[in-house]
Chains A and B, each alone.
Chain A
Amino acid sequence: DAKTTQPNSMESNEEEPVHLPCNHSTISGTDYIHWYRQLPSQGPEYVIHGLTSNVNNRMASLAIAEDRKSSTLILHRATLRDAAVYYCILRPNTGNQFYFGTGTSLTVIP
């Protein structure tokens, strides 16, 4: 399985932007980059995904490096409700095995 590397933890002040990095140097050409987050005592929820171009939705933005070996999830204004563990995963176009890892635990400081 192609794997990703994320920092174990990050902190942000409330209402400031947050940039969560992810390295995926072994990404293949057809792998999609997905981001999920897990709030305390809940299952992970979808945040955003992309292939090559930067993506925006109501929750976040995803910036993908030109060589696709890294990506950054951007929360434009962190709120206390954004405190969660954020997972970056690579989903291949064939097969159902993908690697979640341990993610980045985001703390939002009031």
Chain B
Amino acid sequence: AQKITQTQPGMFVQEKEAVTLDCTYDTSDPSYGLFWYKQPSSGEMIFLIYQGSYDQQNATEGRYSLNFQKARKSANLVISASQLGDSAMYFCAMRATGANSKLTFGKGITLSVRP
């Protein structure tokens, strides 16, 4: 079974600053994938970034980067140069072995960007 833990309370960041959203995971699968999704108030889940367990380098997608520390079982999301539109819920998720396996999500973190 997979488990995702997101324990930070609501996060606040000043516009244009960087912020790190924490995620730890637990799994017995040797191969897995880690995802981050953004959910604005409109409710739609928006894919941000993906990290495979065997990827040697940390994933980056524009202003998003994933700080993957396999030994610590952590997959923190770093958002650089925060924008007001980044205010949303952020979910960390894991996919077990098999590209079409289900996603297991954490409880999410609320991020508020202050002008």
| A and B associate in one complex | no
Chain B positions near chain A (C-beta within 8 angstroms): none
Chain A positions near chain B (C-beta within 8 angstroms): none
